[in-house]
Structure 1
Amino acid sequence: VGALAAWIAFTAPSVGLLVIFAAVVQMSAQGVLDGALHGLKLVAVVIVAQALWGMAGTLAPDTRRRLIAIGAALIVLIASSSLSHLAVILLGGVAGCLICRDIPTSGRSGEGEGLQALRISPLAGGIALLVFLLLLLAVPLLELAGNGGYLALFDVFYRTGALVFGGGHVVLPLLEAELVPAGWVTADRFLAGYGVAQALPGPLFSFAAYLGLVADVPQNRLLLSLICLLAIFLPGFLLVVGFVPFWARLRQRRLVLAALCGVNAAVVGILAAALYDPVALGAIKEPGDLLLVAAGLALLIGFRLPPWLVVAGLAMAGFAVDRI
């Protein structure tokens, strides 16, 4: 109960604000907000570039992991699909097992004590992992049997939540590959919503609520928004409960840590590919856009302004340029 209350308190503010933004986008007259939406797409370029810089330094700091990241980026750019992302993550784990076994890992004495304090039994952990796998495998089969609509989008967001490693920004390429080509969400609305999400408190996964509201589907969008939100968080909850009883032993196995090194490096590559396509290609249309992106990066990284201020500034700049 406490965990559920904490999750609601942490998530509700950003979800509420994203719901309001989705309503504004849908109710606004055609073309009125084009400039502001374009500015928000430029925000996505700035934020993803900053996230990539930070993740590369943390998750791919040496030559071997950089090679895994570069290989992952090339694969995703050549064969961009949801399956290619899964394949790259798996290949990253294999590559990590092969070439990252001797990379030093943090083995601090207090590491993992917070998880062990949860006191989850091995039986409960095993049940959580079983439920995680059943949902991952059964929902796509039910969808193939003809139960589309809500179930189809639950499947998309659940699989995305299950594949997120290394940071919340990885939802960008995973969700974009699922939603935009299928026509559920336009590229403009996707990137604009992602840009707004950067200015809000709470987890980036709250972006799922916005996507459920702007999805081009006949179903009830408020219900769909709730389903998308729950679906993207559920895998993480099940995996935490599932792995807590076993983590103390798993983290002692060098092969497991090497695989995680490879997976995290592959995630850096996936995000790098997403920065190029769809983020930069979808947002930067003329030289002036490059100047706005450079200004945003300077304000965010150089002057360390808060993200919400950069988001607001670029949105207003885009709106002003569009009005000229």
Structure 2
Amino acid sequence: MKFGINLFPTVGEDEKPADRYFQEALELTELAERLGFHHVKTVEHYFTGYGGYSPDPVTFLAAAAARTSKIRLVTGAVLPAFTHPIKLAGKLAMLDNISLGRLDVGFGRAFLPDEFAAYGVSMDESRPRFDEGIAACRLLWTEKDVIWNGTFHRFGPLTMLPRPYQRPHPRILVTSAVTPETCAAAGRAGYGLMLVPAINKREKLQDMLTLYRKEAAEAGYEPVDEDIHMSYNCYLAPDGEVARTLGRTYSENTNRKLVAAVESWTHTRSDQYQGYEKIVENVRNSDFTKHLTDNKVLVGSPDEVIQRLETIRGWFGDITISLQVITGNMPFAESVRTMELFADHVLPHFS
């Protein structure tokens, strides 16, 4: 198993100014490298306290690349529906070169109706825009004199510069919130997968992973731990009861921001997002105690978290886990403590 940090900002201007947030996030990135974590990951979202401080993960990861030399940099994820593929492929290739080949590219379909509305993009075009964006980026990274005649973009012939540092291109991962078909398609294409344990039952995640691995094997691919990412809210303290009390506070803060971000699903429907109208009720009914019982959060003493992770490994196999160490805008010093306790006690157990 591999472990990194996920700097998903759940914070607004009334809680922490943006300059302070970014300085702290970059300090956590440097700390993660010193402590031996595998990666740092960040998201693309807009407008709200649920991710809105990260409208462009490439910008943050470029700054992270300049301050580090070993840790991998993961977009978790960029959203092709909102960016022309020439721009997106070029930015990512730049980052891959700046970091000397430390980039893994996660692509996401986006799921917040307000973001689609702001960009003037129909949610009913979500899947084809996602598929076309990834395919166009991959072609631009690997071929010369590219001609693209897609549904949404047409260009060429052109040869993109710079070429990616990693050849033929950086590792590609795709996000799947609740859709098994996305997992199957990722396996057939030889892509990695990003899954969300907090919003799925364990049995459904196991079924999605089984399908992914089956399709990958039939296509001649053998996924490794770095091909399967899952993110977990994480809070450690020497005393497990203290960790659970404070971890609950920060997790519930994050959940309130998610409720606000998904509120527009109460009046939005799209055949590209079957069942998403239930997401508001599911998020509103989120229960921290049940998440603890179901091992959907990594909260407790180091020994307790080790046991949770052993259970998770038994369910899903060797995977890559991203620790959301700034959950609910927890104080910087507590993020540092969580990372140090994890590195001192948990990483050695799994190494």
Give me the TM-score of the superposition, normalised by structure 2.
0.24
- The structure with the greater share of residues assigned to helix is 1
